[in-house]
Amino acid sequence: MANNLLTPVKILDESLMILENNLAFTSRSNRDYSDEFAQSGAKVGATVNARKPNRFVGTTGPNLNIEGVNENSVPVTLTTQFHVDFTFSSQELTLIVDEFADRYLKPAMATIANKIDFDGLGLAANVANNVGTAGTVPNDISVLLNAGAKLDNEAAPRDGMRQAVWDPTTNASMVKSAAGLFNPGPAIGEQYESGIFRPASLGLDIGMDQNVNVFTTGTRTNATVSGAGQTGNSLVVTGLGAGGTVAKGDTFTLGGVFAVNPQNRQSVGYLRQFTVLAAATADGSGNATLSIFPPINTAASNQQYQTVTAGPANAAPLTWDVAASTQYSANLAYHRNAFTLATADLEDVNKFGAWGARRVHKGISMRIARQYAIGSDTVPCRIDVLYGWSAIYPELACRILR
């Protein structure tokens, strides 16, 4: 009988497979496991770096023109140690793994999966591009085509790694709107049977996730740029209203500032959308300095990473994409590499005599530990993950507003 006992490794292997099947947004995002903490174990606040590729302008003609190499990297901080804690008896270790999974692992992994997905979908605040209308449920495939066009104009590859995740309300509306269109019969049948938009549709692998974040815009009013010649990630503005608030994730356009394709650096024909990366409050005169993405990079200030046709003029109008004090859901269309989930090994508790193990599956490290607690006369068990999210390429994503 002892040879048939469930071991911590068996339990973790089953847990990780169940977790994978519960993930929606995370399963459609890049995952990066760091083994640098395999020996010592990582702690909350540890950082790993994800490198971004260089971008070059190029030169026409025979003469050499060496460009500066900017090794850009994005730090991913392991911000969250999340765990589910419960108790079970030694007798229950004699259960077959399916019975144990039904009783403990499936509900535990559902909780962990929803937490990881919810945190990841909060990165929508870092995404500037958006389509659709806040307060209106998308009900036509044009919203997907428009989001795809935004990705094309940001040079997002069409390599089979484009994704979309939307909330249940949007999913229900879009499944209905797509019924009977030019999709092949089996695809329509699949949508009818599952109630979920077919995964491979219009160049996107589409999934439904109830963890799509809801945002509320600030109380700010439309404003103007305060000072000409501004470039980079900060923008000084005025006219927000005395004490007006700007929420993280509020998006806007600037008059006369058009987006460019990052490869050919030509105007794409519409105003560049920006997002606010940190909440701000205007002073009594309505002035504030906003932290923004993408940076205002002109051909003169940073041609390699040019984002706009020109910088904003003094008093250029700033127009918010969503009205003040408005709630909306931020569905996402994106390339898989836009967002990265980083995980690392927690400390191995076996060396302290605990019953436990660590395992890694598809970029996610998980730890289980169980040990007698003399203070409460119980044998608690905990399953932990240590992770952090980062928007590595937020320009390769587009919000679909609802």
Question: DSSP string covering 353-367, please?
Answer: T-EEEEEEETTEEEE
pLDDT of residue 1: 39
The angle subtended at Cα 243 by Cα 237 and Cα 247, nearest 5°, is 70
pLDDT per residue, tens digit, the chain (402 aa), is 345 689 999 999 999 999 999 999 999 999 988 777 777 788 888 887 776 656 666 788 888 888 777 667 778 999 999 999 999 888 888 889 999 999 999 999 999 999 999 999 999 999 999 999 999 999 999 999 999 999 999 999 999 999 999 999 999 999 888 776 655 556 555 555 555 665 667 889 999 999 999 999 999 999 999 999 999 999 999 999 999 999 999 999 999 999 999 999 999 999 999 999 999 999 999 999 999 999 999 999 999 899 999 999 999 999 999 999 999 999 999 999 999 999 999 999 888 888 999 999 999 999 999 988 888 888 899 999 999 999 999 999 999 999
For 133, phi and psi rounded to 5 degrees? Answer: -130, 125
Residues in the chain: 402
Per-residue pLDDT at 364: 96
At residue 390, the pLDDT reads 95
What's the pLDDT at 2?
A: 43
Q: What is the 3-state secondary structure (H, E, C) of 313-335?
A: CCCCEEEECCCCCCEEEEEEEEE
Token pair for 166: 């939307």
Query: Cα(51)–Cα(72) distance, rounded to whole angstroms?
Result: 6
Reduced to 3 DSSP states, what percent helix, strand and coil does the chain have, rounded to the nearest 5? 25, 35, 40
Torsion of CA 95, 98, 99, 101, to 10 degrees: 110
How many CA atoms lie less than 13 Å away from 158 in the CB half-sphere? 9
- 15 three-class SS: helix
| Gap between the Cα atoms of 102 and 361, Å rounded | 20
Q: What is the pTM of this model?
A: 0.89
Structural tokens at position 96: 């077959």
Query: Can you list the positions of beta strands (E) in 24-137?
Result: 30-34, 47-51, 73-77, 80-87, 130-131
